[in-house]
Amino acid sequence: MPFASVIVDIPTRALREPFTYAIPDELVSELSIGCAVLVDFGNRPAVGWVIDLLMSTELERVRPLRSVLSAALFDSTSALLALEVARDYCAPPIEALRLFLPPGAAPRLAKRTVDGVETWALEEPSVGPVDERWVERVPESDFRPARNATMQRALLDALVEGPVSAAELRAALGSVDGALRRLESTGSVRIEERRRFRASHGAGRPAPRHGALSDGQTEALRAIANATVGETILLDGVTGSGKTEVYLRSIESCVERSLSAVVLVPEISLTPQTVGRFRTRFGASIAVLHSRLGAGERRDEWDRIASGEARVVIGARSALFAPIQNLGIIVIDEEHSSSYKQGQAPRYDARSVAARVAKARSAVLVLGSATPSMEMREAAERGELTRIALPERVGGGVLPVAQIVDMGVEFNAGHRSMFSRPLTQALLETAEAGHRAVLLLNRRGFASFLLCRECGYVPTCESCSTSLTFHDAGRPRLVCHHCGAIHTPPATCPDCGGPYLRQFGAGTQRVEAELRELLPDTPIVRMDADTTTGKGGHERVLTEFESLPGGVLIGTQMVAKGLDYPDVALVGVLNADTTLHLPDFRSAERTYQLLAQVAGRAGRGDIKGRVVIQTYWPDHPAIRSAAFHDPESFYLDEAITRKELRYPPFGRLANVVVSGVDEAAVKRSAEILAAALKASAGEKIEVLGPCTAPLARVKRQHRWHVLVRGARDTSLSSLVCEALEEVPRADGVSLAPDIDPADLL
C-alpha cells in the first residue's frame, strides 16, 4: 500500500514535520500531490495537505487517510518550496504552505453541536467560482413570437448583436425568466452556464513603447537574454532610465517562447500606470494580484493564472506564489522596498524566496532599483549576481538639480513657515508656469502631537507607547496610528487644567491647509492613508491629480513610488529628517532611498526639474548623497558603520519579539529565551538582550525582544527554532521569530 506525506492544517510551531498516512486502495486513483485530505490527528479529525507520495515507510503503525477533499491545488515544486520557506524563516510548515493555496479555497473543519452531541463538519470554502447564465440567439431558428409576446420580442432584439448575460437582460428589461424559458423551449435561444470573473482592477494609463534603446538598456536586455537558469540580474538604474521598458521587452521575449512571467511591484495599488503599461503590451493575458482586491477577485485571478489564460502576473509580494505555468522570468521592481518583507508569519523576504523560486522553476530573476539595497550591492561585489548600470535617463533627460535648505538657518533668520523661502519661491514659480509639483512629508495628520505649555503633558494612547496624532479633517480628533484608537481632543490640559494645549509638528493635513493659503488658485491633491481608504483609493487620488492641468500633489512616502508624469517641475521635501532618527540600523539607508526616489519624480519630460530638500541635518551623508546624485559616497560611508557592527549585509540578524498583556510574564519568557539562545550559540553568534522593544507597547501588548547576530554565512533559523521550543508556553504570551528582519521596531 502506498503512503502519503501530509502537512496537517493546524498552525502551531510544534508541528514542524509532515506526517505519514496510508492510502486506502479506493483513494489511490483520485489522490495526488496538492490534494486536501481528511485525516485523523490525535483524537480529532483534521484537514491535511499531501506534499509527497511514498512507496514505503519505516513506521510500524500508520493511520489511513479518511477521504480526499479537493483536487490538487499546488504541485510538488510548490510543496518543496513551502518546506524551505518554513525552515528558513522558522515558521510552521502549514503557514508557509498556505502561501501557495488559492484564496478562500481551503476546506476547513468546524466543531458543531447536533442534538447535544459535538461533531466535526466540513465547512464550505469561503470563496469559490461564480457562474452565471448567458443567453445566445440561435440564428437558424424561424420561431416568431406572438404579437402580444412583447417580452419575447424584446429579448430577441436584445440578442441580435451577440450573447448577453441573463443578469444584464434583467437589468435592462425586468423579469425575463418566463420569456427565456419559452424561447429556449422553441429552440430560438441557447442558455448556458459560464464562469463570471469578478472585475479586479482598472485599465490604468497606457504608456507608449519607447523607440531607440539606450546603451544601458541594450546591455541589460542582452544580459537577461544570455542569463542561465536561476541567475540573478540587478538593474541599477537612475530614476527615468527605462528599467520598465527593459522588463517589458524581456517579458515579450519570454511570451514569444511560450513562457510566463511574474512581476512584483511594491504596493501595486499605488501604481496604476504600471498596470496600464503592461496591459498595453500583453492585453487580456495580464493578471493582477494585490491586497486591495476582494477575496472573490483574487480567486478569479488565481484561477485564470492556473488555467494558463493569464501569462503575465503583476502584483505585490504574494503574487510570487501564484500557480503560473512555464515560468521564464521573475521581475522585482524597486527591490529595495521594505514592503517585500512579510510582516506576519512566515516572515519571508520576497527577494530571497524569489531566488529559490527562479532556481526551482528554471527562470531568471531580475531585480531593479534606482537605489539598490545594501544587500544587493554587496552581493554584486561578491560576484553572486550580475549588476548592470543604467546611469542616464532615456531620451537625453537629465536628473533634477537639488537644493538643500538648512531649516535651522531659516529659523534663526526669523522665518517660521513650514515652507522655507527657497521652497516658497519655487512653488510660486511652478504654479505661475502651470506646471505640477510634488511635496513629500512622511507624516499624516494635521500635527504630530498636542503639548501643554504649562506642564508638558502630551496625550498618549492608552494601548500603545506612543503619542496621539492630531487630525483636523472637518472634525478635530486624536488618532493612534498603531491601533487606530480615536479620541476627542481635550479643551484643557487633563493634568494641570491649563488652557495652553498647542499643536506641535506638522502632518500632511496641515501642509494642505497652509498651501491653500499660499496658492489659493492652484489645485491641491493630498495622498496619504486618510485620503486613500477604501477600494481603489490610490488610483482615485492619482486620477484626480492626473486630470488637472497643473497643481500640487502632497503626500507621504506613497508619492515617491511609481509616479511618472512628464510635467512635474518641482519636488519639495518638507522634512528630510523624519526617518533619520528612528532607532533602526537601516534608518540612514531608508532616508537616502526615499529622498532619491521622490527627487526622481521631477524633470522626467522636457521641463527641467528642481528639488528642494528641507532639513535640520544638512551635512548628513544620506541627505547630501540623495541631493547630489552621488550613491557611491553614501554606500561607502554606510558600509563602514555596518561592518563595524556586523550588521547586514556583512552579518545576519534574527529578532524574536515576545509580547503579551502581562509584562512580567513577557519579561520572564524573554529571559528564558535569551538564556536558551546563549547556551546554544556558537563562536560566530552573539545574543543581545532581552530588553524592551523600541515600540514597547502596541494594542495593550507589552513587547520585549531578543536580538541574535551572526556571521554572514551563519544559519540562524535552526538555532532560533530550537530555543523557542525550550520556552514554556505561558498564557497570553506569544513569541514571533523574524529571520533577517527588515527593521528592529
User: In this structure, what C-alpha cell is assigned to residue 158?
Assistant: 436584445
| CATH code linked to domain 652-739 | 3.30.70.600
The grid cell for 38 is 481528511
Confidence of residue 204 (pLDDT cuts 50, 70, 90): very low
Whether the link from the prior residue into 649 is cis, omega within 30° of 0, is: yes
pLDDT exceeds 70 at position 273: no
Confidence of residue 444 (pLDDT cuts 50, 70, 90): low
* Whether the bond into 690 is cis, omega within 30 of 0: yes
Indicate the burial class of 363 (C-beta count within 10 angstroms; 0-12, 13-18, 19 or more). buried
Q: What mean pLDDT comes out for the span 722-730?
A: 89
Q: What is the residue-averaged pLDDT of the chain?
A: 87
Average pLDDT over residues 538-551: 80
- pLDDT at residue 565 is higher than 60: yes
DSSP code for 666:
H
- Report the percentage of the chain scoring pLDDT > 70: 94
3-state secondary structure 422-463: HHHHHHHHHHHHCCEEEEECCCCCCECEEEECCCCCCCECCC
Confidence class for position 445, pLDDT limits 50, 70, 90: low
For 522, phi then psi, to 5°, come to: -105, 130
DSSP 686: E
The owner of cell 522558522 is 90
Share of the chain above pLDDT 90, in %: 46
- How would residue 588 be classed by pLDDT, with cut points 50, 70 and 90? very high
Mean pLDDT of 28-36: 92
The set of cell numbers assigned to 501 is 494645549
Query: Which single residue is written with the C-alpha cell 502632497?
Result: 554
Residue 596 grid coordinates:
532619491
Q: 111-138: per-residue pLDDT in tens?
A: 777 777 777 667 766 676 777 788 888 8
Give the list of residues 6+ apart from residue 419 with CB closer than 8 angstroms, or none: 427, 514, 515, 518, 572, 574
Cell reading at 275: 498596470
CATH of domain 130-196: 1.10.10
Side-chain-side CA neighbours of residue 386 (13 Å): 18
Per-residue pLDDT, 416: 80
- Identify the residue with better confidence: 249 or 416: 249
pLDDT at 621: 93
More confident residue, 442 or 512: 512
H or E element: which one contains 123?
strand 117-123
Please state, in angstroms and rounded to a whole number, the distance separating the CA atoms of residues 513 and 629: 32
Reported as a pLDDT band with limits 50, 70 and 90, residue 623 is very high
The span from the CA of 47 to the CA of 479, in Å, is: 42
Q: What share of the chain is helix, strand, coil (3-state, %, to 5)?
A: 35, 25, 40
Q: How far apart are CA 620 and CA 618, in angstroms?
A: 6
pLDDT in tens, 70-103: 889 999 999 999 999 999 999 999 999 999 998 8
Domain ranges of the chain: 3-122, 130-196, 215-394, 401-446+509-641, 447-505, 652-739
652-739 shares the fold of 130-196: no
Partners of 565 in the β-ladder: none
Report the predicted TM-score, pTM, of the whole model to 2 decimal places: 0.85
Q: Who has greater pLDDT, 395 or 2?
A: 2
Q: What is the pLDDT of residue 124?
A: 67
Q: What is the pLDDT of residue 130?
A: 73
Any residues with CB less than 8 A from the CB of 45 and at least 6 apart, and which? 38, 39, 66, 109, 120
> What are the cell numbers at 483?
491601533
Q: Tell whether the torsion through CA atoms of 584, 585, 591 and 593 is positive or negative.
A: negative
C-alpha cell at 86: 518554513
Cβ neighbours of 556 (radius 10 Å): 20
DSSP string, 516-566: HHH-TTS-EEEESTTTS-STTHHHHHHHHHHHSSSEEEEESGGGGSS---T
Instruction: Output DSSP code: residue 633.
Output: H
Strands 364-369 and 327-333, by their bridges, are parallel
Inform me whether the pLDDT recorded for 432 exceeds 70.
yes
Q: Is residue 275 within 8 Å of 201, Cβ to Cβ?
A: yes
pLDDT of residue 522: 92
Predicted pLDDT at 313 = 94
Beta strands in 354-433 (DSSP E): 364-369, 386-390, 401-406
Q: Grid coordinates in use for 87?
A: 525552515
- Sheet (strand 36-41) strand order: 19-22, 3-8, 44-54, 36-41, 67-68
Task: State the DSSP code for 213.
Answer: P
CATH fold for domain 215-394: Rossmann fold (3.40.50)
Strands 501-504 and 449-452: antiparallel
Cell numbers 528630510 correspond to what residue? 576
Output phi, psi for 546, to 5 deg.
-65, -30
Q: Is the dihedral of CA 273, 278, 280, 284 positive or negative?
A: negative
Specify the pLDDT at position 203.
Answer: 46
pLDDT at 16: 86
- How far CA 193 is from CA of 29, 71, 340, in Å, comes to 29, 22, 40
Q: Domain 401-446+509-641 is of which CATH architecture?
A: 3-Layer(aba) Sandwich (3.40)
| 86 φψ region: left (φ > 0), alpha (ψ -120 to 50), beta (else) | alpha
Per-residue pLDDT, 465: 77
Q: What is the CA radius of gyration of the chain?
A: 29
Topology given in CATH for the domain delimited by 3-122:
GIY-YIG endonuclease (3.40.1440)
How far apart are alpha carbons 573 and 596 in whole angstroms?
Answer: 11
CB atoms under 10 Å from CB of 326, counted, come to 14
Question: Model confidence over 303-360: pLDDT tens digits?
Answer: 889 999 899 999 989 999 999 989 999 999 999 999 999 988 899 999 999 999 999 9
